[in-house]
Amino acid sequence: MKQDKILIVGTGALGSFYGALLSKAGAEVSVVCRSDYSTVKQHGFEIKSDVLGNWRFKPSQVLKSTTEYKGQADYLLLCSKVIPEIDRIELIKPAVSAKTRITLIQNGVEIEQPLIKAFPDNEIISGLAFVCCNRVAPALTHHLAYGKLTLGNVDESEHRPNGAQHLADLINKAGIEAIVSEQIIKDRWLKCLWNAPFNPLSVLSGGLSTADILSTQEPLIRTIMQEVMQIAKACGHPLAMDSIETNIQNTYAMPPYKTSMLLDYERHHSMEIEAILGNTLTAAKRENIPCPTLDTLYSLMKLIELKAKNKQKQQ
């Protein structure tokens, strides 16, 4: 059997973890990495997984840019953050061949459209990772729990290609659950139902855990979720009626949790405000759905982002 050629672009916690899994499953995995380049080039990645044990992931090619990639990738996994500073199309373009399946393992809603437009002849797979892992040092990734990957072709027509299934098979082979969804766009909206309230509120509260937020401001959480439900429905992706209830109950059952946006904020990294809130509001405006609460959260997050930038300038 022919070995799959896979290129990972963006090797933070997520990219290094799934790259390491695909390598474990027998694929030929290369990486484009920026900050940790020299460490990765010399030693590869070290993966410390509380679930699968520890192993070293030595990429086939370690590159500074997609322009250096040799060969034709079967899959390109884009695992960067979705922030305005990153032009995702320019970032991956040089390594996209006619047969390359572009796979987005990224946060947010409506993040596929620009790539569909830029690469109309490529298969585009959208992916949602439910994983708890951290980059604890250069080229060192700690996988604490979970890992489930949901993959789906953004083309939901009957005769769509099925590259998502093969990728899921590889992840499953490596010991982590991956499934193929027939409605990945709706799945993104469902994830947004949780992300839209808890990510901004964790930052705006000054760093409260999801447990503290929910136990004191449940009505606000429900209001935000209701706005997201209405937008998703207007976009043609109605979520199940009990989605809010399920999300609320699941969050009560979770241990106190720091959101990715809060972690980014505390580390002085860019936050995915546009991917999570901005794109949601763009959809709402397009579909004429009023959402005063999301509007307010978005404006407040822009203020907090401005303050963070002002602070960094002063340092």
Q: Looking at beta carbons only, is 27 or 196 nearer to its own copies?
A: 196
* Lookup: tokens for 280: 């949601």
Q: Which amino acid is at 232?
A: A
Q: Looking at beta carbons only, is 172 or 226 nearer to its own copies?
A: 226
Count Cα neighbours of 219 within 13 Å in the Cβ-side half-sphere.
Answer: 0
Q: Looking at beta carbons only, is 120 or 206 nearer to its own copies?
A: 206
Measured CA to CA in angstroms, residue 310 lies from 19, 202, 303, 314 at distances of 36, 21, 10, 6
Sole residue written with tokens 């193929």: 180
Give the nearest distance from C-beta 217 to its own copies in angstroms: 5
Measured CA to CA in angstroms, residue 185 lies from 109, 113, 155, 198, 315 at distances of 8, 11, 10, 20, 41
Give the nearest distance from C-beta 296 to its own copies in angstroms: 5
Give the nearest distance from C-beta 281 to its own copies in angstroms: 12
Give the nearest distance from C-beta 224 to its own copies in angstroms: 9
Query: What's the CA gap between 125 and 192, in Å, rounded?
Result: 18
Q: Looking at beta carbons only, is 94 or 207 nearer to its own copies?
A: 207
* Lookup: tokens for 219: 């009505």
Query: What's the CA gap between 227 and 222, in Å, rounded?
Result: 9
The residues that touch its own copies, with contacts defined as CB under 8 A, are 201, 204-208, 212-213, 216-217, 219-220, 223, 292-293, 295-297, 299-300, 302-304, 306-308, 310
Tell me which H or E stretch contains 216: helix 210-234
Give the nearest distance from C-beta 273 to its own copies in angstroms: 13
Q: Looking at beta carbons only, is 116 or 304 nearer to its own copies?
A: 304
